[in-house]
A and B are shown apart, each in its own frame.
Chain A
Amino acid sequence: MEPEVVHAELVLPTHLSFKRIQMYEKYPKGQSRGRHWKHLKQIIQAENYQNYPPNEPNYVNIESPPSMHPCKRICDITGYEAPYYDPRTGLRYANADIFKLIRSLPNEYVQRYLALRNAAVVLK
């Protein structure tokens, strides 16, 4: 290791005296191990929240409901108020100049703009 790296103590030591089980004991090297953690979705599913009493707060039922306000529509490119919608690309736009721009955009960029608001075409 380079001296400045050692000096900054950048790298976490593999052995720490205050631990009762070291990292290398828990996850031995060279031993293949599958994914040993669950995604949040799996955690929530395993929790069986549907069996819980509904009046008790839990991780799932404290989520906010969908908004009741009318959605403000903004231009995907500029962020201005967008009265128009382009049915070909699916983008919202503010005026004729931006319409010209979005029609000249390559599809990749259109999809990236749509992906910003989670409206892109996702191929599975």
Chain B
Amino acid sequence: MPFISQIQRHSDYRLFPSSTPIVIDNGASYFRIGWAGETEPRVIFRNIVQRPRHKATGETVTIVGDHDPTLLKYFDCTRSGPRSAFDSNVVFQFEIMEYILDFGFDRLGANGSQIDHSILITECVCNPFQSRSKMAELLFETYGVPSIAYGVDAAFSYKYNQQHGVCDKDGLAICPGFTTTHVIPFIDGEPMYQGSCRTNIGGYHITDYMKQLLSLKYPHHMARFSWEKVEDLKMEHCYIAPDYVSEARLFQKGTKEAEDKTRLWQLPWVPPPTEEPPSEEEIARKAAIKEKQGQRLREMAEAKRSSRINELENESHGLEFLLQQLEQVEEHDIPSFLSATGYVSKQEVESALLKVRQSLLKAKGEPKAEQAELEEKTDPAGGERFPLLNIPDNMLTPEQVKEKKRQLFLKTTSEGRQRAKQKRYEEELERERRNQQDEQKRLENPELYLEQLHAKYKDLSEKVEQRKRLKTNGGHTNGNSFSGSVGRGERLNAAQRERMRLLTTAAFDRGKGEDTFGARDEDWQLYKLMSKDNDDDDEAPDEHEAELARLTSRLQEVDPTFVPKTDTTNPQSVEAPRFRPLTQEDFQIFFGVERFRCPEILFNPNWIGIDQAGLDEMAGVSIRRLPTKGQELEERLTSSVFLTGGSSLFPGMSERLEAGIRMIRPCGSPIRIVKALDPILDAWRGASAYAAASHFPTQTFTKEDYYEKGEDCVRRYQFRYYTL
């Protein structure tokens, strides 16, 4: 339930005579201003000032209090956040205070030349003199206020509730506020400041603690935890556990009760658009388009092929015709005859013809194997194909020698091809044989076979995996690599890292002792290790991988339930989270322990590093500090423990406080905890009642006093809380 400000301007300012005082409850969180004698303050707003830059005009403007956040889009608030005039309930920045007072008086409807009403304004207990006098200076000199009275908010709240019979004239006021928590003992209806104590902790710290905890728990949603939002969450969900430890234990054990106490905040989340399976029509349409395109490509290819065949046929006919003509030409006329065609010898023409015929065959689509076989068939008669090979060099013309070399080359390559083919054939046979064996074993004992296969698969895959890991991680993992954090070193593989190590030691290992490098032959191995192409990829692991692939395919054949492990380097921790689509659960904020952990700091301030007594202990401290002692008085005090202030609104506060005070009091002491009628507004209402009382003018100090007696009268000033 967020608190709503009231900032609409009032128009009845002129209706109040100047004898009616203005009452201001100047709290660290909210500023409340109104007229004496009324029961509700007129204007309430958060006691903050922002000075953003107007985006359109670029001028710096002042915005007081909290407004509709949508209007702030016209302003650039990035340079300065909301600022408060308070530090631990003491006003210390009077420029900000002035903006706040400006706004407060303006919304109250003030429109004269000065504020012609006396003012009752609240301050903290034992406000430093400097702050009080600055406030007087501001009110007298800037606003022209005739007279001022200062009072303590907790005391006004106590007196107001005393008037309504909630608490007695002797009692303890416990006031957990926004930035500080006070305990003030009351004796005979007068606050005893000697006995009061203050701990610098309050609602501000609770919200801040919660904000920090949540943003640490959900770092991805940090932007969601704005101050205002967390403040709302605190007001809505936080409570005070009767016993922190046992309550936390409930959550630790994950009991049903704890589950019921856990609150869930679902952040707005839009599921990513799911890809709908395309409709039948769509599929058909796409297939048709594909088919059409395919058809076109095929046609094009066909056209190309036929044109090429034509071309080749023409060429071969031409060559054949040339050969025929050559036969008619006499031997010594050949070169002159051929010079016109670009060929040198008859052989060359023949070989060109052969080439053209081969390409023609290829273009016509005769399978290559056939062609190869054709080649092979002619091969045994190798002597015919390579006639020059068996003739010694000295019996040949230079041209023939060249030809011989060409033939030699052709022969060796064709032989190599044949050998490779033979090897392939043998391997094929071997594989066939193994498969047959496997099959036989499977037929003999399927279960055993499957088991063996699985075992083998597991073994092998582990081996391969280990090798991979070794390659990337260097064998010795340093604890952190599982958490997915990748440092600079971890990106390199082991070999690279070793190389870096060698290089760095070489670089920094100069001039230490005698240089004996090179004395032994092994020393020089170092350079080999350092060199960049030091890659130790041997063949064995490849064999493993090939075997693994074979086993995988075999298993897939035989065992329908088998699912091959996908790449196993580190699939869960690194790859999975990155590509996992975000789900609704990723946008859920859980409040479990936080609900009572955050307000618990009121009782244990040292949890946030404030080394002071908590709320329950403060009561004991306060009683101890009182100058007048006596069991009877103490019992009267503890039987009217009064709770006020914004942070006393947490459910479970009274019960917890009672238990805490019972612990520090003697056995059997009467303890009664009462809550203020309205812990937030009672201070203003009490102040309003006092300002309306007939003896209020005697309680104020005037501008004349201030100028005449100087600041001393401010120092000595003390409000008297007469019983109304």
Contacts and interface: CB of A to CB of B under 8 A. Distances in A.
Contact of B130 (A1, A47, A71): A47
Interface string A81-98: 100000000000010000
A11 B62 contact: yes
A40 B143 CA distance: 25
A64 to B, nearest CB: 4
Contact of B67 (A8, A38, A80, A81): A8
A26 B611 CA distance: 41
Contact of A62 (B193, B245, B248, B614): B193
A62 B127 CA distance: 11
B113 A64 contact: no
A121 interface: no
Interface in B601-625: 604-614, 617-618, 621
Contacts of B193: 57, 62
B77 interface: no
B613 A19 contact: no
Contacts of A71: 604, 606
Contacts of B143: 18-20
A18 B111 CA distance: 6
Contacts of A55: 194, 627
A46 B503 CA distance: 63
Given A5-B71, A63-B197, A63-B612, A79 B102 contact: no
Contacts of A63: 197-200, 612
Contact of A57 (B126, B483, B608): B126
Contacts of B103: 12
Interface in A21-51: 21, 23, 26-27, 36-40, 43-44, 46-47
Interface stretch (B208-216, B303-311, B466-474, B671-679): B208-216
Given A23-B98, A57-B193, A62-B125, A78 B593 contact: yes
A72 B245 CA distance: 9
B249 interface: yes
B142 interface: yes
A67 B612 CA distance: 5
Interface residues of A, number: 59
B284 interface: no
Interface string B479-492: 11001010000000
B617 A69 contact: yes
B612 A66 contact: yes
In this complex, which of A4, A64, A103 has the most chain B Cβ atoms within 10 angstroms of its Cβ? A64
Contacts of B252: 78, 80-81, 94
A104 B141 contact: no
A79 B199 contact: no
B217 to A, nearest CB: 8
Given A17-B112, A118-B609, A37 B94 contact: yes
Given A13-B106, A38-B92, A116-B209, A66 B611 contact: yes
Nearest to A116: B212
Contact of A80 (B68, B94, B249): B249
Interface in B78-121: 87-88, 90, 92-95, 98-99, 102-103, 105-106, 110-115
A99 B121 CA distance: 52
Given A17-B113, A18-B105, A116 B608 contact: yes
Given A11-B63, A13-B106, A117-B609, A62 B197 contact: yes
A96 to B, nearest CB: 13
A79 B143 CA distance: 50
Given A10-B71, A20-B114, A68 B92 contact: no
B9 interface: yes
A43 B132 CA distance: 11
A81 B249 contact: yes
B63 A74 contact: no
Contacts of B480: 104
Interface in B171-218: 193-194, 196-200, 209, 212-213, 216
A68 B619 CA distance: 13
A74 B248 contact: yes
A62 B98 contact: no
Contacts of B105: 16, 18
Given A17-B113, A18-B113, A36 B95 contact: yes
Contacts of A94: 252
Contact of A64 (B68, B114, B197): B197
Given A65-B612, A81-B248, A12 B62 contact: yes
A10 B67 contact: yes
A52 B61 CA distance: 43
A45 to B, nearest CB: 10
B114 A2 contact: no
B713 to A, nearest CB: 17
Contact of A21 (B128, B142, B609, B610): B142
Interface in B460-516: 479-480, 483, 485
Contacts of A68: 613, 617
B604 to A, nearest CB: 6
Contacts of A72: 244-245, 604, 607
Contacts of B617: 64, 67-69
Nearest to B484: A104
A37 B608 contact: no
Please provide the 6 A-B residue pairs with the shortest distance between their CB atoms, ordered closest to farther: A118-B609, A79-B593, A104-B483, A57-B193, A40-B87, A79-B597
15 contacts: A8-B67, A9-B9, A11-B62, A12-B61, A18-B110, A19-B143, A39-B92, A40-B92, A62-B125, A63-B612, A67-B611, A68-B613, A68-B617, A72-B244, A104-B483
Given A39-B92, A64-B612, A65-B613, 5 more contacts: A12-B106, A17-B112, A36-B95, A38-B92, A64-B199
Interface of B: 9, 54, 56-57, 61-64, 67-68, 71, 74, 87-88, 90, 92-95, 98-99, 102-103, 105-106, 110-115, 125-131, 141-144, 193-194, 196-200, 209, 212-213, 216, 244-245, 248-249, 251-252, 479-480, 483, 485, 593-594, 597, 604-614, 617-618, 621, 627
